[in-house]
Amino acid sequence: MENNFYKIANRNNNLGTETAFTVLAKANKLALEGKSIINLGIGQPDFTTPEHIVEAGIKALKDGHHGYTQSTGMPELREAVSNDIHKRHKVNISPDNILIVPGGKVIIFFSAMLLGEKNKEILYPNPGFPIYESAINYSGANAIPYRLSESKGFSFSANDILNKINDKTSLVIINSPANPTGGVVPKVELEILAKGLEKFPDVVLMSDEIYDQFCFGENTFTSMLTFPEIRNRLIILNGWSKTYAMTGWRLGYGIFPKKLYGIAEKLAVNIHSCVNASAQFAALEALQGPQDCVLEMNNTFKRRAGMMQNRLNKIEGFSCQEPNGAFYCFPNITGTKKTSTEVQNKLLDEIGVATVAGPSFGQYGEGFLRLSCANSDEAIEEAIARIRNIF
C-alpha cells in the first residue's frame, strides 16, 4: 500500500521528460502484442557500433580493466579528445578542460546546476531537446525559450538571442545541428552571437555539438570552439552516442573553462564517480581507429533524410523542409487539421508508426512531428506508405 505520509521535495515537480522514451515503451508493448511496428520515434542510429570499437571494449574487460578510473576520465582518452578537436577544428584544448561523462546529457544537467538558480534566467532553443527545459526548471532558474522558426530553416537569429539577455541571464544554450528540427545554424549567425556576447561577459554559453559529424546541407558545421573571444566562458557538449552509434554505452564529454571545471568534476564524483573503464577503452579506439564508419553514416543519413522529406511532401497536409543535419525530419502537419499529439497517437495506434509530436520539444513545436531517419530504407518507405494511406 502507498505511504502518503512523507513528502517529496518540491523541486521534483519541475522535472520534465523525453517523450521519445515514452513512445518507445508504448511501441515495444504494441510489438510484443504482435502488432507490426515501425519505429521512427527514438533518436539513435540504426547502425550497430563498429566492430573494431566493440572489440576494444571486450579486450579492455579481458585485460582486467574492471575498476574505477579517474573521475575526470582516463588521461589517454582526454588526450585523444583533445587531439581529435585539434584535427577537426584546428583548436588547442587542454585535456585538463575535458571531462568524460556517462552520456552527453550529463553536461546539460551539469551546466544547469552550475549556472542556474532562483532569480536567474537561462535561454534555450524551442523546439529543442526537451532535457534543456527540464534541467533549467530543476535548477530553479527561469527557462526562457527562443524560437526556432520554420521560415528561417529552423536556425536561430543571433540578435533574437542577444535581445533576450538581461542582467538575470546566466547561461545561453544552443544546439546545431539540431534535434528535433534537423536545422543547422549558418556560420555568420554564430559569428554575430560570439561577437554580441562580448557585451555580456557574465553570460556563459553552452553549445551542444553532439550531431557535429552529421551535417549535410549547404551550411557546414562550425564549432563554437573556433571563437576565441568566448572560450573562457564556453561549455561544449559532445560525445560518442551519435557519431559512433554508441548510445547504449553511455559515453560523452564536456569541455569546461577552468573556473567551472573543478566544480563539474565534483559533481561527477558525487553522482557517478567515473565512466566504466571498458567503455572508455572503446571510446579511445573510436577516436584513434578508422573514421570511414562516420562518413558512411553521414552519407546514409543524408540520403535517407532527402528520401524521407521527398515522400513526406507527397502526403496530404504535410509539408517538410530539407533537413541539413542530425537525422530527423520535422514536417509541418497543420494541413492535417489535427494537433501534433493527435497525429502522433493516430500513427502509432492505427498504423503502428512511432513518431514524436512536436510539443514534446517545447510549445513552439505544436504543428510539427519528428520522424527519425535512423531506420532502414525499406522501413522508412513502408512507414511513409502507411501514413499516406490514412491522410
CA dist., res. 245 & res. 228, Å (int): 31
Contact at 8 Å (CB) between 212 and 224? Answer: no
CB of 104 vs ligand PLP, minimal distance in Å: 3
Binding of ligand PLP by 209 (CB under 6 A): no
Comparing CB distances to ligand PLP, the nearer of 101 and 320 is: 101
Asked if 212 contacts 179 with a C-beta cutoff of 8 angstroms, the reply is: no
Q: Which of 241, 309, 321, 355 binds ligand PLP (CB under 6 A)?
A: 241
Q: Are 144 and 136 in contact (CB under 8 A)?
A: no
As a whole number of Å, the end-to-end CA separation of the chain is: 46
Task: Point out the residue whose Cβ comes nearest to ligand PLP.
Answer: 103
175 interacts with ligand PLP by CB under 6 A: yes
Site string for ligand PLP, 127-166 (x = CB under 6 A): --x-------------------------------------
Quick check: bond before 180 cis, omega within 30? yes
208 binds ligand PLP (CB under 6 A): yes
Choice from 73, 239, 323, 325 touching ligand PLP (CB under 6 A): 239
Is 179 near ligand PLP (CB under 6 A)?
Answer: yes
Contact stretch for ligand PLP (CB under 6 A) within 28-36, 87-95, 98-106, 139-147: 98-106
CA geometry: angle 257, 258, 262, nearest 5 deg? 115
Q: Out of 41, 57, 73, 103, which residue is the one contacting ligand PLP (CB under 6 A)?
A: 103
Taking alpha carbons only, the member of 219, 217, 158 closest to residue 191 is 158
Question: Binder to ligand PLP among 57, 73, 116, 252 (CB under 6 A)?
Answer: 252
3-state secondary structure of 72: coil
Q: Cell 557574465 belongs to which residue?
A: 202
| 104 forms part of the interface with ligand PLP (CB under 6 A) | yes
Beta carbon of residue 54, minimum distance to ligand PLP (angstroms, whole number): 18
SS (H, E, C) 204-254: EEEEECCCCCCECCCCCCCCHHHCHHHHHHEEEEEECCCCCCCHHHCCEEE
Angle in degrees, 0-180, between the axes of helices 340-351 and 19-32, rounded to the nearest 10: 20
Does residue number 45 form part of the binding site for ligand PLP (CB under 6 A)?
no
3-state secondary structure of 360: helix
370 belongs to the binding site for ligand PLP (CB under 6 A) = no
Instruction: Name the one range near ligand PLP by CB under 6 A: 33-41, 72-80, 99-107, 365-373.
Output: 99-107
Nearer to ligand PLP by Cβ, of 297 and 315: the residue is: 297
Kindly state the smallest distance separating residue 372's Cβ from ligand PLP, in Å: 10
Our CB check for ligand PLP shows the closer of 351 and 357 to be: 357
Minimum distance from residue 42 beta carbon to ligand PLP (Å): 9
**185 or 315, CB closer to ligand PLP?**
185
Q: Where are the beta strands (DSSP E) in the chain?
A: 38-39, 98-101, 121-126, 142-147, 169-175, 204-208, 234-239, 252-255, 328-329, 353-354, 356-357, 369-372
Nearest-approach distance from CB 249 to ligand PLP, in angstroms: 9
Q: Which is nearer to ligand PLP, 252 or 323 (CB)?
A: 252
Q: Which amino acid is at 241?
A: S
Q: Which one, of 52, 41, 60, lies nearest residue 294 by Cα?
A: 52
Closest approach, Cβ 334 to ligand PLP, in A, equals 24
Instruction: Tell me whether residue 153 or residue 254 sits nearer to ligand PLP (CB atom).
Output: 254
The site for ligand PLP (CB under 6 A) is made up of 43, 103-105, 129, 175, 179, 208, 210, 239, 241, 247, 252
